[in-house]
Chains A and B, each alone.
Chain A
Amino acid sequence: MSEHELDLAALSKVGMMRQKQPDYYVMRLKAVAGDMTASQLACVAGVAEKYGKGFVHLSTRQGIEIHYVHRDNLETARLELQSAGIEMGACGPRVRVIVACPGEETCRWGNIDTKKIARELDRRYFKQETPSKFKLAVTGCSNNCTKANENDIGVRGAIEPKWEAGECNDCGLCVSLCPLSAIERRDSDEGYCYAIDEKLCINCSVCTSLCPSNSWVIGRKGYTLYIGGTMGRVPRFASVLKKMVESEEELYRLIEKAITLYREKGRKKERFGHMIDRIGLEAVKEELRGKP
């Protein structure tokens, strides 16, 4: 076998998929959290010009694909991309490229450093084998731009607001702004206070960002962790494993347990969420969180 003739399963492992057209392949590139530098993009453009048909396809998961690459050129094209620091994505039954929104670095609503989490998850899990495909997404707040609950594992930045009288002038703005109408003005010994119905609150940070006197402060900050989402053949929204995970260590520990459980108990071609439904959500939660 010549250097250029790689076997098909090995190709799919490194993000190259056979097209309908004989001998032509899709090269799926990796962009963790959807980020690429301008010079990397220029390299992608060059490779698409030279070895593809001069166009790229943007996937729904922040990836770039170069289509119509002849199998004889795959290895040369891959090396050219590699020289610009661009790695290949993943296909098949393994952990796919981690998706993330821009998060707190640039977005007003961001509660967490989404890119940092995505890079860490990438370092830990990218391309590792799982019973079926496995997708992870990180989203900065409950606006949920990267659809955390449509992923096998979803991480969503969350804050728990706390009201402190401080400079509050009783304007009532927070009551009108809360998207879930979770805030209520109540009479209290000090005259009045503002309180939250925790069952309604989606931990979004609208009140803490927009109160003119900063009377809504961040009480707790962390991650809402979702498990078992998929939008594939049999869609299933993710279930909340824990509404407020307060440390990065705990987040990674729970994710590790979830992936380990899926590896142990998941059947081939059974997505994580469908495994959860087969075993029972409560049993899975108990297994992952420990008995309450």
Chain B
Amino acid sequence: MASPEITKTLDVQGISCPANAMRVRAAIAELKGDELLEVLVDEGEAVLRVARTLKDCGHRIVKVENRGEGVSVIVGK
């Protein structure tokens, strides 16, 4: 199976909670089928907050990697 493509990137670094998590939700809502979204989020409280929202909404987290003082989170619907 070909791995699904990352079709969009959303940078919410510098955006405070909970606005960052709300933007992530809105962007995920626009994904079609097995499209993936890469989110860039600040480390610390922000990534905790986004992870919490993703879990509460039952979204699929595919891969997470630290990028300097931020974190890249690849998510699907």
A interface residues, Cβ below 8 angstroms from B: 108, 169, 171-173, 175-177, 206, 209-210, 212
Closest chain A residue to B65 by CB distance? Answer: A172
Distance between A209 CB and nearest chain B CB, rounded to angstroms: 8
Name the prevailing secondary structure of the B interface residues: strand
**Is B32 an interface position by the 8 A CB rule?**
no
Do the beta carbons of B62 and A169 come within 8 Å of each other? yes
Which residues of A lie under 8 Å from residue B55 when comparing CB positions? 210, 212
**Nearest B residue to A181, CB-CB:** B66
Residues of chain B with a CB closer than 8 A to A172's CB: 63-65
Which residue of the partner chain, among B52, B60, B66, contacts A176 with CB atoms under 8 Å?
B66
A212 to B52, CA, bound (A): 9
B61 close to A (CB within 8 Å): yes
A209-B52 Cα distance, complex, nearest whole Å: 8
25 A-B contacts (beta carbon < 8 Å): A169-B61, A171-B61, A171-B62, A171-B64, A172-B63, A172-B64, A172-B65, A173-B64, A173-B73, A175-B64, A175-B66, A176-B43, A176-B47, A176-B64, A176-B65, A176-B71, A177-B47, A177-B48, A177-B51, A210-B51, A210-B55, A212-B54, A212-B55, A212-B60, A212-B61
Chain A residues contacting B64 (CB-CB under 8 Å) are 171-173, 175-176
- CB neighbours (8 Å) of B62 from chain A are 169, 171
Beyond the given A176-B64, A210-B52, could you list 9 further A-B residue pairs with CB under 8 A, ordered by the A residue number? A171-B61, A171-B63, A175-B66, A176-B43, A176-B47, A176-B71, A177-B47, A209-B52, A210-B48
Chain B residues whose C-beta falls within 8 Å of the C-beta of A177 in the assembled complex: 47-48, 51
Which residues in window 8-55 of B have CB below 8 A to A?
Answer: 43, 47-48, 51-52, 54-55
Question: What CA separation (Å) do A176 and B45 show in the bound complex?
Answer: 11
| Distance between B28 CB and nearest chain A CB, rounded to angstroms | 14
**CA–CA, A120 and B6, complex, Å:** 54
Give CA–CA (A169, B60) in the complex, Å.
10
